[in-house]
């Protein structure tokens, strides 16, 4: 086992865990960026300087494009329902499985650590891809899935060529651009925190911070969700004991009427509209 | 080398058009110029190879034809969009998608080609949403992103698994079967084939009609061509060792047949023109899926011929639907009584599209589709599949019956195809200035164009339909281009060495294979090109009497004896 490669794999895994479990979209994006930056180093021998530079520049662009969309302090994402520790354990278990099955039945040309990290990323991507309710989280799942598959490919086939690095970098830039485009479109459409998939559940009157700051006249009416729904039962615990973070997970089943200006949400004199109440920040 | 100018122009103008998207007219103008420049660059593509950054990019006649048709029909779509309602990102996304398709078709390494095709598919997300996005629309686009990522992951894992020394894995047919099914399912997901059609149906509902060809045909088609090349080079040569994978083939045939039959029926019963176009594409994709089930080198030219015909015919069909909606203000078939009477040009267009996509024996498209079915399916099901190719007559017939019905009041109020003189307008005071001759010309042309806009967009649809008919008849050198070897293989046009000799795409079978620090895809040349200590599964191929590429089973390395030579 190469300690340097193992350290790189741990960093990749840690970034992915942060990416899928953080509820502040900026922190989640930071985790993804770490994963994208360190993943090219999981190769033995290392790619050429040009190939490595290409991947790093591509990683920077792939992270910067969604950053434009989520840099607002109010940007929220769903995060993990299981929590970061569970995600870390899942990733670690998948890493061990991937490391132990290096080569998938035949001698691997690349390092086993790459396959371990790749399988871990694929395992961590399952949650966001299957249960993701907001655009950013689902996009993060797509990045992790393809990043994981490409790490497995590095382990099986060896260090990618310079040309493959360029094409791979282009893929990640396109992914970042797609996520940014979708997040901005979801925000324009008035989706709560980028959540565009409906869930069965109780109706909430909570307004996401971005929607709360928007002038009342510009708030678009939400249309009736038509996507297949996944029922999430509400806790029977008393309201006082509920986790506030769960509140943001529920979406209205019935279409909301156009949001009327709520006096409670109107900024009080002397309070900047750009500074939402602390309870709205998650 | 000849592909490089196309790639530079396509990606460059795409970036410029998308960066200018805030200014819709400038973005469209840059996109149009880019499409024209890319069309000219595609004309110069020829079979050659450029070594670059540790890999290579190879031009081919097939890539040339693919990209020429792509840019030509793209120009038609953008022109129709400009005359009706052009989605802001369409020109830029078209250029990005075609650039990525050109890259994928030119890369000899299948894994890299798949990565390029996936990246190109992401360009379609930019045109999935309408001008005013809704949460439903964003949800559909997000599902599309998920489908592209999952399909790409399947194919990437499969190609990566096979593109390295396989050691004793070669004795396990399950390995090849699993990889083969993963690639076929990945391509089926991208096409929205039944049973993976739900997201594609929603995309057809949510996306602007003019964007449908890019979303449901061009992006998936590039991936399908890459997938077919991989199957032909990595799976077909090992069939003598691994067996003919009966269970895996049955799964793929079931998916292909479901598309072929249910796709046509779904298109027939739909009331929405967009859905008809979407399911018609799914039905045609069924033939592509069946090509994966053939596992026969003879399916190579037929499948590639059909893919080009599919692209031309379905792009023309989508353009026709856009024009119908623009002229009659509805996309519901029940409200279109008498459409063909009001616009014979559109009627002729639909007839041409029907000929291109159904055809008759002797037509290149019909024969290609029949070859694919005959090579993929045996027994009575083959007859069923061959009969199913006429099912599109159901929905084309329904459209014609509606079109030839007596027009209602609303239809009679729509302008017909007769050319009209522009009505007299107040003269443009600046037009008479001798310093502005362009303005004078514009002031003369613009009223005439505006007055005859319905006829002009119908004519554009007719041009695209005519292109589809010529393609279906084997025009533009389609049969020769389709029979060409895969990029980077030892063979060249005229040779029939087949794609099986493609370096890098062949799995190494020798148990004594020495792991190489470089990827097998680039380091392991084929046995015919430059022998190496690694025996590859890519046997020397011999021409069949029909001229199609054929792998010689006797050359399959059933024994692990290595050929002595230096790598």
What pLDDT is recorded for position B426? 57
Cα–Cα distance measured from residue B517 to residue B316, given in angstroms and rounded to the nearest whole number:
48
Angle between helices B453-472 and B344-357 in degrees, nearest 10: 20
Judged by a CB distance cut-off of 8 A, whether residue A181 touches chain B is yes
What pLDDT is recorded for position B206? 83
Q: Which residues of B384-415 are buried (b: 16+ CB within 10 A; e: fewer)?
A: ebeebbebbeebbebbbebbeeebeeebeeee
Lowest-confidence region among B126-130, B389-393, B503-507: B503-507
Same-domain status, A123 and A209: no
Q: Which of B55, B132, B160 faces A152 most closely, judged by CB atoms? A: B160
Judged by a CB distance cut-off of 8 A, whether residue B141 touches chain A is yes
Same-domain status, A148 and A232: no
Q: How many CB atoms lie within 10 A of CB B315?
A: 29
A257 belongs to a structural domain: yes
Same-domain status, A182 and A215: no
Same-domain status, A20 and A86: yes
Cα–Cα distance measured from residue B320 to residue A163, given in angstroms and rounded to the nearest whole number:
40
Q: Which of A139, A158, A226 faces B518 most closely, judged by CB atoms? A: A158
Cα–Cα distance measured from residue B95 to residue B77, given in angstroms and rounded to the nearest whole number:
12
Same-domain status, A174 and A235: no
Q: What is the 3-state secondary structure (H, E, C) of B177-209?
A: HHHHHHHHHHHHHHHCCCCCCHHHHHHHHHCCH
What pLDDT is recorded for position A236? 47
CB within 8 Å of chain B, chain A residues 29-48: 44-45, 48
Judged by a CB distance cut-off of 8 A, whether residue A169 touches chain B is no
Judged by a CB distance cut-off of 8 A, whether residue A178 touches chain B is yes
Same-domain status, A179 and A227: no
A193 belongs to a structural domain: no
Lowest-confidence region among A72-81, A89-98, B14-23, B435-444: B435-444
Return the SS3 of B551.
Answer: strand
User: What string of DSSP letters covers B453-500?
Assistant: HHHHHHHHHHHHHHHHHHHHTTGGGHHHHHTSPPTTSS--BTB---GG
User: Residue B304 sits in which domain range?
Assistant: 3-404+454-482
A53: buried, middle or exposed (CB in 10 Å: 19+, 13-18, 0-12)? Answer: middle
Task: List pLDDT tens digits, range A237-282.
Answer: 444 444 443 343 333 344 444 544 444 444 444 444 444 444 443 3
- Is residue B101 within 8 A of residue B64, CB to CB? The reply is no
| Structural domain total, chain B | 1
A207 token code pair: 């307004």
Q: Which residue has the higher pLDDT, A265 or B523?
A: A265
What pLDDT is recorded for position A275? 42
User: Residue A125 sits in which domain range?
Assistant: 3-188
Same-domain status, A183 and A221: no
B143: buried, middle or exposed (CB in 10 Å: 19+, 13-18, 0-12)? Answer: buried
| Structural domain total, chain A | 2
B382 belongs to a structural domain: yes
Same-domain status, A160 and A91: yes
B493 belongs to a structural domain: no
B162 token code pair: 């096979």
B368 belongs to a structural domain: yes
- Contact list in B for residue A105 (CB cut-off 8 A) is 167-169, 172, 175
Angle made by CA atoms B414, B72, B193, in degrees to the nearest 5: 80
Same-domain status, A122 and A209: no
B531 belongs to a structural domain: no
What pLDDT is recorded for position A134? 84
Task: List pLDDT tens digits, range B447-475.
Answer: 877 888 888 999 999 999 999 999 999 99
DSSP H or E run through A92 = helix A84-100
Cβ–Cβ gap A164/B112 under 8 Å: yes
What pLDDT is recorded for position B425? 59
Q: Which residues of A80-116 are buried (b: 16+ CB within 10 A; e: fewer)?
A: beeebeebbebbbebbeebbeebbbebbbbbbbbbbb
Residues constituting chain B: 567
As a whole number, the mean pLDDT across chain B is 81
Compute CA distances B73 → A48, B70, B218, B313, B462, whole Å.
Answer: 40, 5, 11, 10, 12
Judged by a CB distance cut-off of 8 A, whether residue B103 touches chain A is yes
Q: Which of B115, B169, B177, B215 to mutate to test the interface with A (most CBs of A within 10 A)?
A: B115
* Predicted confidence (pLDDT) at residue B345 exceeds the cutoff of 80: yes
What pLDDT is recorded for position B380? 87
The secondary structure of chain A in percent helix, strand, coil, rounded to multiples of 5, reads 60, 0, 40
Task: List pLDDT tens digits, range B200-236.
Answer: 788 888 888 888 888 889 989 999 999 999 998 888 8
Same-domain status, A150 and A224: no
Same-domain status, A33 and A161: yes
Last residue of a domain, one of A153, A188, A223: A188
What pLDDT is recorded for position B348? 95
Cα–Cα distance measured from residue B191 to residue B260, given in angstroms and rounded to the nearest whole number:
13
Judged by a CB distance cut-off of 8 A, whether residue B206 touches chain A is no
Distance in Å, alpha carbon of B408 to nearest chain A alpha carbon = 33
Q: Which of A122, A154, A181, A256 to mutate to test the interface with B (most CBs of B within 10 A)?
A: A181
Instruction: Report pTM.
Output: 0.80
Distance in Å, alpha carbon of A188 to nearest chain B alpha carbon = 7
Closest residue in chain B to residue A129, using alpha carbons only: B146
Return the SS3 of A121.
Answer: helix
B474 belongs to a structural domain: yes
Last residue of a domain, one of A158, A188, A218: A188
A258 belongs to a structural domain: yes
Instruction: Report ipTM for this prediction.
Output: 0.81
Q: Which of B139, B157, B521 to mutate to test the interface with A (most CBs of A within 10 A)?
A: B139
Cα–Cα distance measured from residue B188 to residue B13, given in angstroms and rounded to the nearest whole number:
31
What pLDDT is recorded for position B435? 63
Task: Give every residue of chain A whose pLDDT is below 70, as ranges.
Answer: 192-282
Last residue of a domain, one of A153, A168, A188: A188
Summarize the confidence of residues B249-254 as an average pLDDT: 93
Q: Which residues lie across from B59 on neighbouring strands? A: B48
- Is residue A143 within 8 A of residue A175, CB to CB? The reply is yes
Task: List pLDDT tens digits, range B294-336.
Answer: 888 889 999 999 999 999 999 999 999 999 998 888 889 988 9
Task: List pLDDT tens digits, range B150-186.
Answer: 999 999 999 998 888 777 777 777 888 899 999 999 9
Question: How many CA atoms does the CB half-sphere of B200 hold within 13 Å?
Answer: 31
Same-domain status, A109 and A7: yes
- Contact list in A for residue B102 (CB cut-off 8 A) is none
Residues constituting chain A: 282
């Amino acid at each position: 086992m190469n300690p340097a490669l193992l350290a790189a794999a741990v960093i990749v895994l840690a970034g992915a865990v942060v990416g899928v479990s953080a509820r502040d979209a900026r922190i989640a994006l930071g985790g993804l960026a770490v994963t994208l930056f360190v993943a090219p180093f999981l190769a033995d021998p290392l790619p050429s300087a040009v190939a490595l530079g290409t991947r790093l520049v591509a990683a920077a662009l792939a992270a910067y494009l969604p950053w434009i969309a989520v840099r607002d302090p109010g940007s929220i994402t769903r995060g993990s329902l299981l929590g970061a520790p569970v995600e870390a354990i899942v990733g670690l278990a998948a890493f061990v499985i991937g490391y132990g099955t290096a080569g998938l039945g035949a001698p691997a040309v690349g390092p086993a650590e790459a396959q371990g990290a790749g399988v871990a990323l694929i395992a961590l991507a399952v949650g966001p891809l299957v249960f993701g309710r907001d655009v950013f989280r689902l996009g993060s799942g797509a990045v992790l899935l393809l990043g994981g598959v490409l790490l497995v490919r590095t382990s099986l086939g060896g260090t990618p060529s310079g040309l493959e690095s360029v094409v791979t970098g282009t893929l990640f830039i396109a992914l970042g651009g797609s996520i940014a485009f979708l997040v901005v479109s979801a925000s324009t459409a008035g989706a709560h925190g980028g959540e565009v998939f409906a869930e069965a559940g109780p109706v909430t009157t909570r307004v996401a911070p971005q929607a709360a700051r928007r002038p009342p006249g510009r708030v678009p009416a939400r249309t009736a969700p038509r996507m297949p729904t996944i029922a999430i039962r509400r806790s029977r615990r008393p309201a006082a004991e509920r986790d506030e973070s769960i509140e943001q997970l529920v979406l209205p089943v019935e279409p909301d009427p156009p949001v009327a200006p709520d006096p409670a949400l109107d900024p009080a004199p002397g309070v900047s509209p750009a500074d939402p109440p602390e309870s709205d920040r998650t | 080398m000849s592909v490089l100018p196309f790639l530079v122009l396509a990606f460059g103008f795409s970036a410029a058009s998308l960066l200018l998207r805030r200014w819709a007219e400038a973005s469209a103008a840059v996109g149009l110029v880019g499409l024209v420049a890319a069309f000219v660059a595609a004309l110069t593509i020829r079979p050659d190879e450029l070594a670059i950054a540790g890999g290579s990019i190879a031009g081919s006649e097939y890539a040339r034809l693919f990209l020429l048709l792509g840019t030509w029909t793209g120009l038609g779509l953008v022109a129709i969009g400009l005359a009706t309602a052009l989605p802001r990102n369409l020109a830029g996304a078209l250029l990005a998608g075609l650039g990525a398709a050109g890259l994928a078709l030119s890369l000899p390494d299948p894994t890299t080609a798949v990565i390029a095709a996936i990246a190109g598919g992401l360009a379609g997300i930019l045109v999935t949403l309408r001008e005013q996005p809704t949460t439903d629309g964003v949800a559909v686009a997000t599902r599309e992103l998920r489908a592209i990522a999952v399909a790409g992951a399947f194919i990437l894992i499969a190609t990566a698994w096979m593109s390295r020394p396989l050691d004793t894995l070669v004795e396990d047919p399950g390995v090849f079967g699993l990889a083969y099914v993963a690639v076929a399912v990945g391509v089926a997901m991208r096409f929205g084939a039944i049973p993976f059609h739900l997201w594609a149906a929603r995309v057809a509902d949510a996306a602007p009609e003019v964007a449908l060809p890019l979303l449901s045909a061009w992006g998936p088609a590039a991936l399908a061509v890459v997938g077919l090349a991989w199957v032909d080079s990595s799976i077909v040569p090992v069939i003598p060792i691994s067996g003919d994978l009966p269970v895996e083939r049955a799964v793929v045939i079931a998916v292909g047949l479901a598309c072929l039959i249910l796709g046509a029926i779904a298109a027939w019963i739909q009331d929405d023109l967009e859905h008809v176009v979407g399911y018609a594409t799914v039905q045609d994709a069924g033939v592509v899926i069946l090509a994966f089930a053939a596992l026969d080198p003879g399916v190579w030219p037929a499948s590639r011929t059909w893919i080009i015909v599919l692209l031309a015919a379905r792009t023309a069909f989508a353009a026709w639907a856009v024009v119908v909606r623009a002229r009659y203000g509805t996309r519901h078939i029940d409200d279109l009584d008498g459409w063909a009477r009001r616009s014979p040009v559109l009627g002729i267009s639909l007839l041409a599209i029907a000929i291109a996509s159904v055809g008759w024996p002797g037509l290149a498209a019909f024969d290609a589709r029949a070859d694919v079915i005959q090579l993929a399916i045996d027994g009575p099901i083959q007859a069923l599949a061959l009969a199913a190719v006429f099912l599109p007559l159901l929905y084309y017939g329904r459209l014609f019956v509606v079109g030839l019905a007596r027009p209602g009041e609303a239809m009679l109020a729509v302008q017909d195809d007769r050319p009209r003189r522009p009505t007299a307008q107040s003269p443009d005071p600046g037009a008479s200035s001798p310093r502005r001759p362009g303005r004078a010309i514009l002031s003369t042309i613009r009223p005439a164009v505006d007055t005859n806009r319905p006829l002009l967009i119908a004519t554009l649809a007719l041009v695209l339909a005519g292109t589809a008919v010529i393609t279906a008849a084997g025009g533009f050198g389609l049969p020769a281009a389709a029979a060409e070897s895969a990029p980077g293989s030892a063979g060249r046009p005229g040779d029939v060495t087949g794609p099986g000799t493609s370096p890098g795409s062949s799995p190494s079978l020798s148990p004594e294979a020495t792991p190489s620090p470089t990827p097998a895809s680039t380091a392991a040349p084929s046995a015919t090109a430059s022998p190496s200590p690694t025996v590859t599964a890519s046997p020397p191929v011999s021409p069949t009497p029909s001229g199609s590429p054929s792998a010689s089973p006797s050359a399959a390395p059933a024994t692990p004896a290595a050929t002595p030579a230096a790598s």
